[in-house]
Structure 1
Amino acid sequence: MIAIPLLVLATTGSAARTGMVAAAELVPLVLFKIVAGPAIDSLGPRRVALTCDTLSVVAVAAVPLLHTAGLLSFGALLALVALAGALRGPGDAAKHAMIPSVVAAARVPMEQVTGLYSAVERTASMLGAALAGVLVLALGPADALLVDAASFGIGVLVLGLGTRRLARVGDAGEEPADALGYRVRLREGWRFLRTDRLLMGIAVMVALTNMLDLAWSAVLMPVWAVDSGHGAGALGLLFAVWGGCSALGSLVAAKWGDRLPRFRVYLVAFLVTGLPRYAVLALGAPWVVVLGAFVVGGAASGFLNPILGAVELERIPPALVGRVTALVSAMAWGLMPLGSLLGGVATQAWGFAATTLATGLVYFVVTTAPALDPAFRQMDGARGA
């Protein structure tokens, strides 16, 4: 996320090429996440996750090694980044598909596992970005990628040793790999998702909010930092506060989420975490108000992934977990590049304040519209299903 763009800028000086590299990772990530579903169900998510992360060691390490040897052309960099994205998509989807077997083995509520999963993910993203900045300054962007490659190797060891006793998701109901064609099994996952109104509604809603969130983080927040005069220090602090409070919210959800009414918590959390953060920036609120909104909004956001993840995994039959979760995740990522593009174009045309407020209002509509859809009230009924 940090080292590769800085490496491209340092070696080419081209913002356009930097954008091309970002797209080269994201497009195969989404596509391979979609098509990996049947393989995850047939082979088992543990095997797919370990294989993808093992190959990622090679793909990521090849970038700094070829750079040091003077053999890293821009085309080769694009190919390696695309390979890394193609491996990350199925690898991430497979890890998510392991959650039901973790729940079964640990004999704990689904919210406890999805809450801890979300807390770890958010904390690791926050600390990883900070560590990346330090490593790039100390080692340079190329050598920092060697540490990134090593982290995949460590992850393989931890995952492999820590999940040896887990039952493979799908053993009870999945057909043999050669019994059905790959495309047929892929269509089965899509057919289930399409016919489950609640899951499809969640998938569409998350895709739209992720698009708006990327416009917020990639465009609106940096523009605010520059225009307000608060600068990069305040920008980094706000992101860190948001991430840290979100991780704390996820931990609270892990502890008590199974006792809370899911639908009401979903609505309140989105009301708190959505429009207010856009409004304080658009209206030029004082620094202390902005910081407070990020503390409260970040904490509220931590409840969302545990709830939505629990609902999703409880409604999907074990034999379809890999396919359906991969499709939902791919949909969540699919509109994200459009968010940064639209955010930039709208800010250029309408100005920062109008674009930020409009984005916040759209976010409000997208996240509260489910209150009018009876299907979303099935969130509470999904518990324990």
Structure 2
Amino acid sequence: MTGDTSKAAGIPGTRSLLPLGGVLAAMAVSLTGTRISVVALPWFVLVTTGSATRTGLVAFCEMAPYVLVKAFTGPLVDRIGPRAVSWTTDLASGTAAAAIPLLHALHLMTFPLLLVLVAVIGAARGPGDLAKEVMVPEAAERGRVPLERATGLAGVTERLASTVGLAVGGSLVALLGPLAGLAVNAGCFALGSVIIKLVLPRGMGHAVDDAPVRAGDAEPGYWRRFGEGFAFLRGELLLLTVIVMVGITNLLDAAFSSVLIPVWARQSGNGPTAIGLMGSAMGAAAVGGSLIAAVVAHRLRRRVVVLAGFLLAGAPRFLILAFDAPLGMVVAVFAVSGFGAGFVNPVLGAVLVERVPRRMLGRVNALGDSLAWAGIPLGGLIAGAVVTGVGLVPVLLACGAAYFLTTNLAGLRPEWREIDRTRGRGAVQSHSREVASPSGAQAAK
């Protein structure tokens, strides 16, 4: 008898690449839809209201629920399992996204109703994104793919989705209008839900057994699980430093993508096509950077890779728009920034997974992501108000300077030296605890 007996037995060490391929495919279609919406939704608000402040408010109403709900979903993902969370929340996001063009076509859409719908999308997206991230290490282990390579491939997927999504979004908005982009976004969420529900192997994506419970003790409840994740994260100075730094850069990136770029595109006369072109150039270069990182990142000094990546990915994008450069030069700078950005997430993702026990990955990842994303809802809101008050160019210059200082000052902190030692320490911490578990590894980022 021939065949993959380990797969038949449900052993996590199977060589099949279907689990990792399925998770990455679901991530790809969902993220592609989200990136299409990044172009379509702000443009829809700008052309219908003409207000940068309202554009920022829409971004706030999507991202605030995203961050808040994601922060408190971690224990549920660990308890219920990421698979069920992923496909149900993607279905909810798709339904809310489809309602926007439908209600607008029926002349029933109002601005308050739009805020409610984007809030629903954000609230469902948070747990859905978390659940997919949590399944990556399990999928890697089942296929015997090195962790840094798996997180690198996840980074490639994210960058490729950004490239395709922004290009498609810019083209759709230019040719058919923003509502066409929002309809495609809804379809992408639905497809991601189907992939997770029907394509992944049946034994994958279920909850991981928690720490052993002594006889007579009650099973840990929600708040105890949440507190365990919080206590663990509080004791990890390296992770906290990374989270604070990424939190500030995420705020600046949110302001950039949701308000500053659309306002620049409108004021410069380049329009939504330029947004798609710039995003595609950055995304394509980031795919290349992520592919290289997936192959060689485990051989390089992590601190140098991360800081150099941020140096290229951050301030240059803001400054080139502030100097009113030709579109060709803008696209070139975005491509260089994308290449640098491609190296950052594979390394930081591997560091997180290595330092966190598998059974706690959902709750720690949720808290870490939520803290890192806490500024994103404010980015568009603040940028919209400030641009209205002082103009676009001063805001671009201030944001570029803030990005440069944040990433370089964080890299000087002493705990950043641990990032080059995490590989050996984390491999023991994250795997030795879980291989001993009779249920095997289940979850992860």
Q: 1:9 to 1:343 in 2, by over 3 A?
A: closer
> Matches of residues 95-134 of structure 1 in structure 2 within 5 Å?
95-134=132-171
User: Aligned partner of 2:405: which letter?
Assistant: V
**2:245 paired with 1:205:** yes
**2:219 paired with 1:179:** yes
Q: 1:333 to 1:6 in 2, by over 3 A?
A: same
Report the count of equivalent residues: 384
* Superposition RMSD in Å: 3.2
CA contact (8 A) 2:60 2:380 kept: no
Q: 1:281 to 1:383 in 2, by over 3 A?
A: same
User: Aligned partner of 1:158: which letter?
Assistant: I
Using the alignment, how far apart are the partners of 2:212 and 2:55 within structure 1? 43
Using the alignment, how far apart are the partners of 1:347 and 1:45 within structure 2? 40
- Please state whether the residue corresponding to 2:208 is helix, strand or coil: coil
Q: TM-score, normalised by structure 2?
A: 0.75
User: Aligned partner of 1:308: which letter?
Assistant: L
Equivalent of 2:130, from 74, 89, 93? 93
> Matches of residues 1-385 of structure 1 in structure 2 within 5 Å?
1=37, 2-5=39-42, 18-69=55-106, 71-136=108-173, 141-142=178-179, 144-164=181-201, 167-168=204-205, 171-173=208-210, 179-221=219-261, 234-282=274-322, 290-344=330-384, 354-384=394-424, 385=427
| 1:94, distance to aligned residue in structure 2 (A) | 0.9
Q: 1:26 to 1:285 in 2, by over 3 A?
A: closer
CA contact (8 A) 1:32 1:90 kept: yes
Mean alpha-carbon deviation: is it higher for 337-346 or for 220-229? 220-229
User: Aligned partner of 1:324: which letter?
Assistant: V
Mean alpha-carbon deviation: is it higher for 308-317 or for 137-146? 137-146
CA contact (8 A) 2:89 2:128 kept: yes
| 1:191, distance to aligned residue in structure 2 (A) | 1.6
Q: Deviations over 1:332-381 (max 9, x none)?
A: 22112333344455556666555434432322221122332221121122
| 1:163, distance to aligned residue in structure 2 (A) | 2.4
Using the alignment, how far apart are the partners of 1:49 and 1:61 within structure 2? 18
- Please state whether the residue corresponding to 1:204 is helix, strand or coil: helix
Using the alignment, how far apart are the partners of 2:299 and 2:83 within structure 1? 30
Q: Deviations over 1:240-289 (max 9, x none)?
A: 21121112111111122222221121122222323344444445667665
Using the alignment, how far apart are the partners of 1:23 and 1:97 within structure 2? 25
Q: 1:354 to 1:67 in 2, by over 3 A?
A: closer
Using the alignment, how far apart are the partners of 1:23 and 1:220 within structure 2? 14
Q: 1:346 to 1:110 in 2, by over 3 A?
A: same
| 1:45, distance to aligned residue in structure 2 (A) | 1.0
User: Aligned partner of 1:154: which letter?
Assistant: L
Unaligned runs of 5+ in 1: none
CA contact (8 A) 1:98 1:169 kept: no
Percent of residue pairs bearing the same amino acid type: 45
CA contact (8 A) 1:42 1:174 kept: no
CA contact (8 A) 2:248 2:375 kept: yes
Using the alignment, how far apart are the partners of 2:41 and 2:270 within structure 1? 27
Mean alpha-carbon deviation: is it higher for 270-279 or for 316-325? 270-279
Mean alpha-carbon deviation: is it higher for 202-211 or for 76-85? 76-85
Q: TM-score, normalised by structure 1?
A: 0.86
| 1:4, distance to aligned residue in structure 2 (A) | 4.3
